[in-house]
Structure 1
């Protein structure tokens, strides 16, 4: 199992485990309830302390979501997909992006409920946020017209959650921009 997925699975299944950053978020999700204001505030403070504010000159120049290195969210009818590109553990430039060290090997995707988004974001390692506290978000592009209103409502819930956590939103809703 991949490290991020394993960490999140453990934090969601064992509410008393202190392995993730916030025991409050793990405990609340382990019981299947939504977070209260105090728990959201605790997660916001942790994210604020561990992840610096976004650096606009690093992320505003990105023209294609496939080049996005921070976490990204694709909102769907009944869930959200959280896309995370883990940092390269090898600091050298030798072999970067080749068959020796492919970028795709560092990509991880997790499908979660919108209510589980705060704990999932809190479980993402600090080095997976190279642009700072900013996240790309998009609606699913291949959804039927009948479910688009539901997707939009989920999009609004996810964006409200991100705002409550103090995370800057970079919205990608242009057709064809999704290549994740």
Structure 2
């Protein structure tokens, strides 16, 4: 079993809390749809699935997601291929967090986090003070989220159903471009392994 530790971590937890806070409407600046973020991994999901996946009879995406462990979605080999060290995996389920954090070898920055949320979809994220671009990750509608002021952080949130999403955060990557590249690569690796509706 993968090594996991429990801890509260400042910046990423604050960002998760801000972006996952309850809100009645999405705020922020929506821009044009960008290119699809492809996956270099074998796709195990039905490739015909696209757009905003609605719940289908017999498929409970939120329940399936709630049974997943964020530190066990990707294999050690997949984490290593993304540039991160699987030995740095840290599990966090305190407060609004249910995620796994990874660092580069030697504990160096950047920090990458895979966050699971089965109680609200991407349209319920509080995106005040963020710029939002709608993209596709594999077959799934997603959001690329960055701060309106220059930063070295990026978030990719993947829409799974009307009440579930997965977000990948990358912090301290030097530039927002580097952060988004790492977040998109991670989201593309995670996407084929996520539950989704059947049609």
TM-score norm. by structure 1 comes to: 0.31
Based on CA coordinates, which of the two structures has the bigger radius of gyration?
1
Structure with more strand by fraction: 2
Structure with more helix by fraction: 1
